[in-house]
Each structure stands twice: as C-alpha cells, then as structure tokens.
Amino acid sequence: MCNPATIAALATKEALVVSTIASAAVSYAGASASARSQQKQFDYNAQLAEQSARNQYNQIRQRQAQENEKSSQEISEVSRRALKARSTAMVQAAEKGVGGRNIQDLFQDFERQESEYRNISLRNRAFRELAYEDQLESIRLGTQSRIINALPTQAKPSLIGTALKIGGSLLRDFNDFNDPDPEREIV
C-alpha cells in the first residue's frame, strides 16, 4: 500500500501541473484576444486612412480639372479678343486706305501678345500640375505613415512559446518541489 505522504506528494505534483497548464492557457487566450483586437483596430484605422487619402486625391484632381478648364477658357477668350482686335484693325485700315508695314507690325504685335499669354498660361498650368503631383505624393506618404504608426504593438502569442513557458514552469516547480529547501547544501 502507498503511504499517505507519497499520495499527497503525487496529488500536489498533479495539481501543480494542472495549475501551470491552466495558467498558461488563460494567458495564451488573453494574449490571443488582445492581438485580435489590436489587428481589428489596425485594419479599421488603415481603412480610414486609405479612404481619407482617396477623398483628398479626388479633391485635388477635381481642383486640378477646374483650374485646367479655367485656364483653357481664359486662353480661348484671349484668342477670341485677339482675333476680334485683328479683324477690327483690318477693317479700319481698309476703310482708311492704310496698309503696308505699319499694319503688318500691328497684326504681328497682336499675335505676339496672344502667343505670349498662351505660353505663360500653359507654363503656369505645368507648374500647377507639378504642385498637384507633389500634394498627391505628400498624401500618399502621409497615408503610409498613418498606417505604419497604427501597426499592432503586441505580437501574436505563439503556441511554441506557450509550450516552452509551461515546460520551464513545470521544470522549475518540480525542482522546487523535490528540493523545498534551496538553502540546503548537497553533500
């Protein structure tokens, strides 16, 4: 028959094993829940950041299209006025019988002014396009930064890590159980 001290020791060891495994399981479950929660929050934040970027992209593209349309309308209006001025000058010159070099110089000046305005407008449009592209790139980088900064900070728990933690705890507890007096010298 087994002596009561041996039975008590075995029961204590079994309780120790069960307690260690239960503690590790609860710890693993809690860490898993926390990791899932962080991942869910990260996914939501990333979705918001990407939606915000799309909205900003759309606003910039819309403003870009409006500016380009305005520029095109201004160029067309200047061309229309220049054509009208040339026509008026041609009619007046014909009515007065004026011709020659002076009239040609006047027409060339109208064309030069129109061309100069068109070139300045197109150059300004190109500069605006570059500025819009810089804004879009800034939005892209800002969105990436927001997403990176929202990355979960807690690593997902590892089954291997949990198993090693259980093994280490059991080994330590068994050593403590077998040698309850760590101060005792081994002879």
- The per-residue pLDDT of the chain, averaged, comes to 82
Greater model confidence, 177 or 186: 177
The pLDDT, as a whole number, for residue 121 is: 93
Question: Can you tell me the mean pLDDT for 177-186?
Answer: 57
Neighbours of 180 (CB within 10 A): 7
Element (H, E) at 182: none
Least confident residue range of 32-46, 154-168, 173-187? 173-187
155-160 LR contacts (CB < 8 Å, sep 24+) = 155/35, 156/31, 156/32, 156/35, 157/27, 157/28, 157/31, 157/32, 157/35, 159/28
Q: What are the sequence ranges of the domains in the chain? A: 4-178
154 has a pLDDT exceeding 70: no
Q: pLDDT by residue (tens digit) across 82-100?
A: 888 888 888 888 888 877 7
Task: Convert the pLDDT of each residue in 51-68 to its tens digit.
Answer: 999 999 999 999 999 999
pTM of the model: 0.62
Reference 124, options 75, 163, 62; nearest CA is 75
Separation between Cα atoms, residue 26 and residue 168, nearest integer Å: 17
Tokens found for residue 183: 């101060």
